[in-house]
Amino acid sequence: MPTLPNAPENITPKKFFTEWLPGQLTPFKDLIKQFGGDLKACMSFKVEGDQGGEWTTALEAGDVKVESGIKDSAIVTLIIAQKDFLDVVTGKRKMNLQPPGGGGAPKPEDIPKQIKNMVDTLSGVEGMFQFRVEDPGNDFVVTVKFKGPIKKEPDTIVSIDRADVDAMAKGELNPQAAFMGGKIRITGDMGLLMQMAPLMMQ
């Protein structure tokens, strides 16, 4: 599956979505048209900061488009501070957690099915959860909204220390062991995470 390179260090969120990202999506468009032209889904982003804004990436009829604003039809909306967003897209912050069970990269022909399974699962989830990587002086926070309105506070908060994130990314710490050992801390509505269980088990 094609992967995106790091964005330039001096990029702004607006330039990322309106100029840089559309130019990087051609391999994905070709892949979707070849293996899954009937897929339809969209994902919205709310970047908070003095140069932030709202954008949506939409997949429909074998094409991938970037549009302004948040769409009610988005399967998820990511809410993230401008600094955290730019750190991720420029590669300053690596978020390379491996999913439970590991496994290599999927075959191109399997990607549309995986996308459809993800859309089907997330379309039935309602609420907001927040993922926090705790790192003294440099916390990383992203809030994920599913169906329903954007709330002042998330329904569920998942917290983990930076060192433990790095250990899981290197395969040195098993996610299940991290949870059982209290390294992954969950507060709020556990039911929201249970709604996502089918996706986590894939």
Q: What is the pTM of this model?
A: 0.83
CB 41 within 8 Å of CB 59 = yes
Whether 7 is covered by a domain: the verdict is no
Q: How many domains does the chain have?
A: 1
In a domain, 95, yes or no: yes
- Residue 156, classed as helix, strand or coil, is strand
Residue 64: predicted pLDDT? 80
pLDDT digits (tens, 9 = 90+) for 148-173: 888 889 999 999 999 998 888 888 98
Q: Is the residue at 22 inside a domain?
A: yes
Boundaries of domain holding 184: 13-200
Per the CB < 8 A criterion, the answer to whether 150 and 72 are in contact is no
Report whether pLDDT(55) > 70: yes
Judge whether 36 and 68 are in contact, CB under 8 Å.
no
Does 5 fall in a domain? no
What's the Cα-to-Cα distance from 183 to each of 96, 103, 120, 128, 172, rounded to whole Å? 18, 23, 30, 21, 13
**Residue 109 placed within a domain:** yes
